[in-house]
Structure 1
Amino acid sequence: MVMKPQDSVLWKNRWLLLIIILALFLRLIDIRQPYIGLSSWNEAHYSLAPLNYFKYGRLMPMNDYGLDLSTTPLLYWAIYASYWLFGVSEWAARLPSLISGLISLFLIFRLAERTCDRDTAYLGTVIAATMPGIVYFSRSVQLESMTTMFALAAALALFNYADSDSDKWFWASAAFLSLAIFVKYTSIVIVPALLWIWFYYVKQSKLKANHVKLAAYVVLPLLPSLLWIYYGATVTPVFMKSYFFRPTDYVSLASISHSLSRAFFEFLPINLGRLQFYLLISGIPILAANIKKQGFFLLLGTTWLALVIKYPQTYINNWYYDYTALYAFAVLSGYILSVVLRSLTQGVSERNKKTALSLLLIVILLVNAQGYYTPFHTYFTDARADFQAAGEPEPFYSARLIAEQNTGHKPVMVAWPSTMYYAGADPAYVSAFHFQDDKIESGIAEGRYEYVALYYPLTKELAELLDGSGYEKIAPRAWRKKS
């Protein structure tokens, strides 16, 4: 029997495939940008260890902190493989996150289809594909995209376990949860959403939902991360302690209130896009009437707030903690739209329904495109303008010049991971001091470094210190010790 084209898997999923192609196009727009955009500190930081694997080996993550075992190596290995295949570049470093983000769209579609209906799944996936924060952070060199992919895979596998008699889905879900937490420890906040699936769906079969399995599901996924943390604490105890107990995060009622207010009224509207933000606010009554049905996505969309409470200042500096939640908000937005559309189009012809839906999708695309352009894309253009104003013909021209001239690997001092990435990347001779003006000034005064690259407005005192310490300017933002 010859299979008809309309019976093929690709044909049946053609609209989902088109959505993912659209998502790919949107994510390719800024993929070649240097590390000058929003969260460029993180992008350069996570790019350094894979780059240094070529010298130190795949078990020695060396970055701006030196030997850094605070992060597990899964993302590093993926970036290293991309470097090995395509060469060292910003887009190659972003490729693993981009792929993880595209897979996440497929997973969120299946999850929405499982808990709601196909209309909600399509609308939610379109919103996720075009949502400004998801577009930007899903292809940034960060942990969020990969950990979210594994988290969504864990949820889908657990739903499959609830629907089938096969234990393979139970263990698959536990494995994906383990990978999600292993990529980023704070992904443990997704566990309440997974437990909702367990108690609301799996427990319907008493044979499956026993206490031993539940304990195994919660405890076993933690073991790989705990072993890695133990390894890191054994090798670099002081650094690991500072990583988990951050002195900059003063937890108080005032700091928590401040971070929560900025989350809801500043960062979340930007990441969601204004359309989705106001849609969710206005659609609260619809969601409230279907709490049980939407319990998984409601929990997935709110448990990230625990991170804002635990790390209030770090959240303000890194306002992507809601990344996984954005996928939940996309589905909830799609659900609200589907309910409203069904109500408004009762008695309307099928042709007019399709016309209305097409217009709605165009509005979503245009509004979200504008939401991405400002501030995410303009962050790049504004940063380029700052470099040009400083006399740099291209971003990090001075740092690149140092890397080109410093063939003997003489000591270099920089202030940021992004500068380090372009100035040589190797902590054996490139030292990065983050917000440590005293160390920068003492390093210059004592002449410990052959080269200095600083990318922030110089004070008159620092300029005089460079000149008085025997440094000559070789580029707009680079100095070298006089011979």
Structure 2
Amino acid sequence: MSLAILLCAGLHIYSMMLPITTGGDEDIHSTPSLMILKNIGIYSERFFHLSPYAFIGLVTLLAIIALVILILLEKRLERKIAHHRRKLLILTIFLIFVFLGVYFYMLRNHPFDQALFKFPPLERITLIVPYSLFGVHEYVARLPSLIFSLLTAVFMFKLVGLYRDRWTATLAGALVIFIPPYFFYSSLNYPEAGGMLFVLMASFYFLRHARTLSYGDLLFSIFFLSLGVLYKRVVLVMWGVFGIYWLVNRIRGERWLSSSTYLKFVWIGLVPIIPHWITVRLFSDVHYFFDLSNWTTLKTATQNLTILPGQTTIPLFFLFAGGTIWALLKRRDNLTLYSLILFATYYVFWTSYFCIGDPRYMMSVFPSVVILAASFLGELRKNSKGKKVVSILAIFLVGFMIYKIPVNPVGKSFKYGSVFYFSYDEIYNYLKDNLKSRQKVGFASPITTAVGFYRYKFGLEHKLDFVFLSEDTLSDSEATHQYFEKENMKYLLVFYPKNYPFFSLDAYKRVENFVDSSENIFIEVRKSVQEYGVLWLGELK
């Protein structure tokens, strides 16, 4: 297991140094933490007379101390929970109002930027510490994803180890981090790695609670589930997984705590979630859209299933299929039941979603795929004379997956999503050298870019304010000229993709045509032409 983790970390190094990707959400995941860090500096200096870096360091230290105390007092805490459940319920109600009060007080004069609310707050908070320690760099923005990925292997090992032997648990831990799409997104600043980690952490403590009926394990499972929802919203589906598993096992006659106890713990789990959901409801445009018509045809109902072999690799998928059949016939234990419920619940959720067939979404079922595949190989190894043959087969499987992972993802990223790598250094170096005072710069692009992150990386957050322009603004040269003079803007920055298969050709052709025909308004000062896009900077005549 240690060798797999070290190898995984080493294979991530090159891709973590690449530019923040264009065409996806990596900039939106990377930049808001820098916005929050700036605001933390305002409050930490006003109330505590500390720099933001000293304040964050102090809070981090206190959080580590609290975690250590929590671990050391786990058994005593379990007894306290058992004897003071009513007081704990009252305390949670009080904490909700405290959290809401502090949260809204801190944000009372802050503009409600959609970038802050499009994704949950824990993802933002997680990035603040590495930014404070190491500065604004691509590898720093991606560092939490790498750490979460490696911890995913550890908790997959612990989870499978509850029901299977050490060999099977080790294989499962190694397989999960080398599934190609998961490896790819673990090298970017996306919440996929963290989301899977919280799913596995919550699952481990929940299944251990199911065996021991420990209050401590139940508390930790709810705690990590709540944190997971605050890191990646779709972890909310795990409430359904837990509920279905509990209900099925109650029907099967297994022993559990009283129903009222679980309702109280669910309430505890809602404490950290409620303030965020109130804020999202009031101030953001975040919505989930579902389309139940996806289930009306066999093609759309099975589309997410048909992409799994290409995502997980064909050998792993066939082992998963064989493991599922074997588990249903021969090994219908609680780990099998839980894995099947996890797979089915997320499959129903994503197939009911309006956008099906996205490789990123189906990563939610990877834990089930790995558990059932590894269990199948583990059973073959245990019950056959060819243990060495099965062990060699497992080594070849892991080796094949390592061969398939995108160690150098440049030119291969379209296989896993709509993102590509584009360097912004040339344009930003020019802006850094030539912006002498704070200026507004017009910016237009038909796709998402990484201009926000590089504004902070090059130290231009106090000099450069982007004014995002629509395509309509650029449709009339004379109107554009008048708008720039009215807004006292000097520069126009335009990004338009080329050879990009995920967007309407007409949409970025209009932007390209504007750039080509704007010589009467703007002087071209810099133009960066790369494989999948062009970044153009013009100065008003």
TM range (shorter): 0.7 to 0.9
Superposed displacement of residue 182, structure 1: 1.8
What percent identity do the matched residue pairs reach?
17
Deviations along 1:200-229, one digit per CA (max 9) or x if unpaired, are 6799775x5211122234444234223212
Q: Cα–Cα, structure 1 residues 322 and 51, in superposed 2: closer, same or farther, change >3 Å? A: same
Residue 92 in structure 1 maps to residue 92 in structure 2: no
2:318 aligned residue = 278
1:243 aligned residue = 286
Superposed displacement of residue 461, structure 1: 2.8
Q: Which runs of 4+ in 1 moved over 6 A?
A: 58-64, 200-205, 254-258
Residue 297 in structure 1 maps to residue 339 in structure 2: yes
Task: Give the whole-Å Cα distance in 1 for the aligned partners of 2:312 and 2:380.
Answer: 20
List aligned pairs for 1:59-458, cutoff 5 A. Answer: 66=114, 68-164=116-212, 166-195=214-243, 198-199=246-247, 206=255, 208-234=256-282, 236=283, 240=284, 242-245=285-288, 252-253=293-294, 260-266=301-307, 268-289=308-329, 290-293=331-334, 294-313=336-355, 315-316=356-357, 319-343=359-383, 345-346=384-385, 348=386, 353-354=387-388, 356-373=389-406, 376=409, 378-379=411-412, 394=423, 397-412=426-441, 413-415=443-445, 416-423=448-455, 429-432=465-468, 437-439=471-473, 441=475, 444=480, 446-447=483-484, 449=489, 450-457=491-498
Residue 272 of structure 2 aligns to a residue in which SS? helix
Residue 478 in structure 1 maps to residue 536 in structure 2: yes
Cα contact 1:419–1:453 (8 A) shared by 2: no
Residue 115 of structure 1 aligns to a residue in which SS? coil
Task: Give the whole-Å Cα distance in 1 for the aligned partners of 2:439 and 2:299.
Answer: 44
The alignment of Structure 1 onto Structure 2 pairs a total of residues equal to: 440
Superposed displacement of residue 151, structure 1: 2.2
- Unmatched tracts of structure 2, length 5 or more: 42-105, 499-507, 529-534
Residue 537 of structure 2 aligns to a residue in which SS? strand
Superposed displacement of residue 465, structure 1: 4.5
Paired AA for residue 243 in structure 1:
V
Task: Give the whole-Å Cα distance in 2 for the aligned partners of 1:357 and 1:62.
Answer: 59
Task: Give the whole-Å Cα distance in 2 for the aligned partners of 1:468 and 1:405.
Answer: 22
1:17 aligned residue = 2
Residue 438 of structure 1 aligns to a residue in which SS? coil
Superposed displacement of residue 44, structure 1: 1.3
Cα contact 1:125–1:331 (8 A) shared by 2: no
1:33 aligned residue = 18
Task: Give the whole-Å Cα distance in 1 for the aligned partners of 2:196 and 2:480.
Answer: 43
Task: Give the whole-Å Cα distance in 1 for the aligned partners of 2:111 and 2:212.
Answer: 45
Task: Give the whole-Å Cα distance in 1 for the aligned partners of 2:261 and 2:168.
Answer: 32
Residue 462 in structure 1 maps to residue 533 in structure 2: no
Superposed displacement of residue 375, structure 1: 9.5
Paired AA for residue 263 in structure 1:
N
Deviations along 1:42-77, one digit per CA (max 9) or x if unpaired, are 211110111223433386799996553233321212
Q: Cα–Cα, structure 1 residues 420 and 387, in superposed 2: closer, same or farther, change >3 Å? A: same
Cα contact 1:181–1:187 (8 A) shared by 2: yes
Q: Cα–Cα, structure 1 residues 33 and 214, in superposed 2: closer, same or farther, change >3 Å? A: same
Superposed displacement of residue 377, structure 1: 5.3
Superposed displacement of residue 88, structure 1: 0.9
How big is the alpha-carbon RMSD for the aligned residues of Structure 1 and Structure 2?
Answer: 3.7
1:11 aligned residue = none
1:51 aligned residue = 34
Q: Cα–Cα, structure 1 residues 198 and 381, in superposed 2: closer, same or farther, change >3 Å? A: closer
Cα contact 2:11–2:407 (8 A) shared by 1: no
Task: Give the whole-Å Cα distance in 2 for the aligned partners of 1:65 and 1:257.
Answer: 41
Paired AA for residue 361 in structure 2:
Y
Superposed displacement of residue 114, structure 1: 1.0
Residue 319 of structure 2 aligns to a residue in which SS? helix
- Unmatched tracts of structure 1, length 5 or more: 1-15
Task: Give the whole-Å Cα distance in 2 for the aligned partners of 1:173 and 1:214.
Answer: 12
Deviations along 1:153-190, one digit per CA (max 9) or x if unpaired, are 12222233233364222212111111111222221212
TM-score of the superposition, structure 2-length normalised?
A: 0.71
Task: Give the whole-Å Cα distance in 2 for the aligned partners of 1:357 and 1:63.
Answer: 59
Q: Cα–Cα, structure 1 residues 431 and 209, in superposed 2: closer, same or farther, change >3 Å? A: farther
Paired AA for residue 265 in structure 1:
T
Task: Give the whole-Å Cα distance in 2 for the aligned partners of 1:256 and 1:419.
Answer: 41
Paired AA for residue 298 in structure 1:
L
Task: Give the whole-Å Cα distance in 1 for the aligned partners of 2:13 and 2:199.
Answer: 24
